[in-house]
Amino acid sequence: MERLERSGRWLRAALARGPLRRRLPWLLLAIVVLGSALKDSDLVPDTPLQNKRNPLNVYFVKVAWAWTLWLLLPFITLSTYELGRSKFLYGRTRSALLALRRLGALLVGTAVWYLCTELFIYIENLTGECSLQGKPSQPGQPPRLYASKRECQRDSGVWNGFDISGHCFLLSYCAMMILEELAVLEALAIERGSKLRVVINVLLVSLCSLTMIWVFMFLCTALYFHDFSQKILGVLIGLAAWYGTYRFWYLKPFSPGLPLPNIPLSSKKYSYSR
């Protein structure tokens, strides 16, 4: 338990404040550029991580939004409710409404994930064509035209289209969203030794571990998969989704709001304004 408390204190100091949130977007862009350069130069060694069936990819990245959603759900609920009661002296009903409003950020994130994923699939289907290697066409029959990657793969074909990196998009968006939500820890004070503090620390360590996995797998994607244009477009869309919500829309009255509500933008503690 003491080790958990020490880990929680260290992570609050390292991740809850603004500098890392400002630097991570540039780090992700640098990873794409340098990783792609190493890939194109054939300087990347062979490792199990280049196999799409590696455990981290199958059990984490493939369901990255689910992991992010189910860890942020209790963290946002508990931290926002406690913030409303301790920081702003709200009653239970108003604190619950504040938490419910902030959970709207997860609905927005789910919509962003779904719409962008569907857009990527649409673009790949629109720009691609099917290659049926080793499968001769029937005499007298015109070659079949395939409308989608799924139809092509159903006939054991290879679909060649512009495949925007969904990994680069989703991993960058999830990592930035987690760091933004951890900003609430700047203003959250919970009595040491309380059950709530233990739960918050467990969620904090879990979210930070998840973020490190996302960044590591983002690096693996940059080193082993996709073309540079597909990866840079994916990360730019992910960062644009983060910026458009947390740096623009969530500053407006009719929005889920920021993790630190009702704190003036000029406040020194409000790291979003710096």
> Per-residue pLDDT for 121 more than 70?
yes
pLDDT in tens, 42-76: 888 889 988 989 999 999 999 999 999 999 999 99
pLDDT at 191 over 80: no
Q: What is the DSSP string of 27-94?
A: HHHHHHHHHHHHHHTT-PPP-GGGSTTSHHHHHTGGGHHHHHHHHHHHHHHHHHHHHHHHTS---HHH
Residues in the chain: 274
What is the pLDDT confidence band of residue 170, given thresholds at 50, 70 and 90? very high
Query: Among 152, 226, 246, 261, which one carries the catalytic annotation?
Result: 226
What is this structure's pTM?
0.88
Let me know if 226 is a catalytic residue: yes
> For residues 78 and 60, what is the distance between their CA atoms, to the nearest angstrom?
24
pLDDT of 148: 79
Catalytic residue list contains 268: no
* pLDDT (mean) for 128-155: 70
Please tell me the predicted confidence (pLDDT) of residue 270. Answer: 39
Contacts of 3 (CB under 8 A, 6+ apart): none
User: What's the pLDDT tens digit per position in 144-166?
Assistant: 677 778 888 887 788 888 999 99
- The catalytically annotated residue of 12, 21, 167, 231 is 167
